[in-house]
Chain A
Amino acid sequence: MNYLTTASAAVLALATAASAQDLPGSFEGVTIEAKLIGGQQYEPLYARIAEWEAATGAKVEVISKKNHFELDREIKSDIATGQLGWCVGSNHSSFAPQYPGIYVDLRAYLPEESLADFVPGNIQSATLDGKLVMLPRAQFDVSALYYQKDIYEKADAAAFEAEYGYPLAVPDTWDQVADQAKFFADAPNFYGTQYAGKEEAIAGRFYEILVADGGEFLDADGRPAFNSEAGVEALNWFVDLYQAQAVPAGVPNYLWDDLGQGFASGTVALNLDWPGWAGFFNDPEASKVAGNVGVAPPPKGSAGIRSGWSGFHGFSVTQDCETPEAAASLVWFLTNEDSQKLESAAGPLPSRQSVWEHVIAEAEGDAYRTEVLKAFQVAAETAFPVPQTPSWIEITNVLYPELQAAILGDKTPQEALDTAAEEATYILEDAGEL
């Protein structure tokens, strides 16, 4: 019996793989229910759904459109109540490990050559337990260092060199970022840099500096290992800047939007931030620093590793979907070359090699855009995803209050990290991962 089902599944997979050669295929009369991420940045792509419908004869019904975090809640509620009959869902590489087993392996439905163009690193991060659970769209996120160009012209370079022992230039290491942030800061009117101080945001930043300093978040056995020497060094970067008042006093409550608005208000010198802001920062309607923005690759840590915490949005197909071939075709269509060209034209980074080349060629003659793409391309080369455990978000929820406690001086970094590591261990034990 078991053998039979496996065999028929394999036959089915073979059959569909063969018919999928001619993507997008034909699915007359099929209706696909989809849950999509909403928001200005993500919506223009959905205009392409009509094209897919016209090409395949199928219909798409968008049964939910919410922002990232609301959608996460909704999908968890669906898992809890067994409401997974819808077919296509927006997904995110940081959240995907939390939904074990609800999404199909897309390789079973799509021919290998249709996947060849994707950036290999992205495909790797989208593969969990050997299953390709999502196809990345052109919403790849890794950070780069935005800075105000003119402060490097106006600053007293001699004084800087006298104090810190090296010439003033756009920083390439986290230590240099810290030095320069302190040098530029003039609270409360001007700050050297800033960071998001809560939730996954600070946990992620801590994670990437930890890696850049040569540390590990979880060790080879999957045990929390961030309370190491490298962990303390990474956390001290945050603590030190906060205590030197080189960052706004409010950072422990900042999230991404506060950072973007802060840099756009012209009161922050250096800002490690996401590609989605590149256009905003250089738009005179929205930003006071427009025309004055430089972009450099993300800094390296003490181990010489470049930080590159990354994530991307994509689409997945559920196990319970009754028409997975059609659903997979839609997912492919929304992430194909034309779709990615459309999305990345507005600024977000692609996840296909051909589209990377395309956007770089398009940007020719636009000095700012070229600078942005160059910096992010360097960042993308060494980018890495969050630890691939279903408990990542839960661990960040016990980690970030401890990071905050250290930043605010309630605890020493070692104490804070030890407590967090202990709680993270409980979480992993409770989840049966240890």
Chain B
Amino acid sequence: MKASRLPPHMMLLLPAVIVLAAVVVLPLLLSLWSSFTPFRLTKPESVYQFIGIRNYQRIFGDMDFWIAFGRTVLLLTVALNLEMLIGLGLALLVDRQTRGQRLLRTILMFPMMFSPILVGFQFKFMFNDNVGLVNNALQSLGLTDKAIPWLIDGKLAFLAIAAAEIWSSTAVFAIFILAGLMAMPRDPQEAARVDGCTPWQTFRYVTWPFLMPFAFIAMTIRSLDVARAYDIIKIMTDGGPAGRTEVLWTLIARTAYSDARMGMANAMAYVAILLSVAFTAYFFSQLGKARAQVAGDW
């Protein structure tokens, strides 16, 4: 038996490696090849025509692509940071409660039950300028007498999308940070208070360093699957109007299927993947640092 000669750790890792190679790596190699071709879905034979890096050259010279790229980075930065802040706030509030924890935690996770595509529909209807919930509420409360064009104005649409994204994903941060709070030993906090620290100082120098690894693990997980935001944006604005909310994923999907230019789309997808790899690797290194610090303090 040849297989049994593999060291045991490789045997244990083998299933994971096989599945990931088959479902992720192999398709990626296929799409890497097609990014060097003018592949069009409706002309299958075009996948055999090698054109070198022409797709990439076109992308690098395309302002629309770079604007979408910049907007994607901005959206990720804004959304992830706000999610972390709000998640921290929520976790602190829930942690204080002695009763009803079980219910509160379930409510906290409620948005995670919503499929991103559903979140998209939901927020699109809520932000509709004419009959949407948000404008109706604002008008009924007398805060405005205008129909605010939430999904039209570039900045407002960005806000609306960020709101949907934050609503649906803050739970991940809240639940991780809450886990951290519950695991935290209470003695250092007590000691800090006895030493006369203000609540802010206690939080800043005792609680937060302990919570950092939790925040970063949530950050890493979120950056791993931020592309989920695609479903939301696709339904809410699909990058429009006039490209004002275009992000990489909407651009890729439209190029790939609606325009059927798969080769070009795969070249764009590779740039997008590099972006997520960079984000994830950054958070991974931060996670490592934060862990080292906690380990050192203990």
Q: Do chains A and B touch in the complex (CB under 8 A)?
A: yes
Tell yes or no: A40 within 8 A of B by CB. Answer: no
Cβ of B192 < 8 Å from any Cβ of A?
no
Candidate in B130, B147, B258 with the most chain A CB atoms within 10 angstroms? B130
Please judge, given known A-B contacts A76-B42, A80-B41, A248-B147, whether A198 and B240 are in contact too, CB under 8 Å.
yes
Pick the interface stretch among B93-101, B148-156, B199-207, B267-275: B148-156
Q: Please determine whether B257 and A404 come into contact, CB atoms closer than 8 angstroms.
A: no
The A389-424 residues at the B interface (CB cut-off 8 A) are: 390, 393-394, 397, 400-402, 404-405, 407-408, 410
Residues of chain A within 8 A (CB-CB) of B42 are 76, 79-80, 98-100, 390
User: B237 — nearest CB in chain A belongs to which residue?
Assistant: A253
Interface residues of B in 113-158 (CB under 8 A from A): 128-131, 135, 139, 145-152, 157
Within 8 A of A (CB), among B37-68: 38-39, 41-42, 44, 47
Residues in A with CB closer than 8 Å to B70 are: none
Flag if B128 contacts A250 (CB, 8 Å).
Answer: yes
Which residues of B (224-243) have their CB < 8 Å from a CB of A?
A: 237-238, 240-243
Give the chain B neighbours of A401 by CB distance below 8 A. Answer: 240-243
> Which of the listed residues A80, A394, A430 has the most CB atoms from chain B within 10 Å of its own CB?
A80
The dominant DSSP class at the B interface is: loop
Q: Is the pair B258, A265 in contact by a Cβ cutoff of 8 Å? A: no
CA distance A73 to B258 in the complex (A): 7
Say yes or no: A262 contacts B130, CB within 8 Å. Answer: yes
Residue ID in chain A nearest B254 by CB atoms? A397
**Are B242 and A252 closer than 8 Å at their CB atoms?**
yes
**Once the chains bind, are A77 and B151 in contact (CB under 8 Å)?**
no
Q: Is B190 among interface residues, defined by CB-CB distance under 8 A? A: no
B51 to chain A, nearest CB (A): 12
* B130 proximity list for chain A (CB < 8 A): 188, 191, 248, 250, 258, 262, 265, 267
Closest to A408 in B: B242
In chain B, positions 1-57 with a C-beta closer than 8 Å to chain A are 38-39, 41-42, 44, 47
Query: Chain B's nearest CB lies how many Å from the CB of A233?
Result: 21
Kindly supply a per-residue 1/0 record for chain A positions 242-261, scoring 1 wherever the CB is within 8 Å of any chain B CB and 0 otherwise.
Answer: 00000011111100001001
> Could you say which residues of chain B place their CB within 8 Å of the CB of A73?
257
Interface size on A, as a range, is 35 or more
Tell me the complex Cα distance, A393–B150, Å: 27
Collect the chain A residues with CB atoms within 8 Å of residue B259's CB. Answer: 393-394, 397
B260, CB-defined interface residue at 8 Å: yes
In angstroms, how far is the closest chain A Cβ from the Cβ of B151? 4
The answer to whether B242 and A405 touch across the interface, beta carbons within 8 angstroms, is: yes
Complex CA distance for A198 and B157, rounded to whole angstroms: 15
Quick one: which of A25-82 are within 8 Å of B by CB? 72-73, 76-77, 79-82
Q: Is the interface of A mostly helix, strand, loop or mixed?
A: helix
Asked whether any CB of chain B lies closer than 8 Å to the CB of A197, the reply is: yes
Contact flag A79-B41 (CB < 8 Å), given A73-B257, A197-B241, A199-B238 = yes
With the chains together, A267 CA to B150 CA distance in Å? 18
Q: Which residues of A contact B152 (CB under 8 A)?
A: 249-253, 408
B212 at the interface (CB under 8 A from A): no
Expressed in whole angstroms, the minimum distance between the Cβ of A224 and any Cβ of chain B is: 16
Interchain CA distance A258-B38 in the complex, whole Å: 37
Across the interface, do B145 and A188 meet the contact criterion of CB distance under 8 Å? yes
Is there an interface contact between B151 and A253, defined as CB atoms closer than 8 Å?
yes
A198-B149 in contact given A249-B129, A394-B259 (Cβ < 8 Å):
no
The interface residues of chain A lying within 8 Å CB-to-CB of B150 are 250
Smallest CB-CB separation from A249: which chain B residue? B149
Known: A79-B42, A198-B241, A253-B152. 14 other contacts (CB 8 A): A76-B42, A80-B44, A98-B42, A198-B238, A199-B238, A248-B129, A249-B149, A250-B129, A250-B147, A252-B152, A267-B131, A393-B259, A394-B259, A401-B242
Interface residues of B (CB under 8 A from A): 38-39, 41-42, 44, 47, 128-131, 135, 139, 145-152, 157, 237-238, 240-243, 254, 257-262
Q: List 24 A-B contacts (CB under 8 A).
A: A73-B257, A77-B41, A98-B42, A187-B146, A188-B129, A188-B139, A198-B238, A198-B241, A249-B152, A250-B128, A250-B129, A250-B149, A250-B152, A252-B242, A253-B151, A253-B152, A253-B237, A253-B240, A265-B130, A393-B258, A394-B260, A397-B258, A402-B242, A407-B241
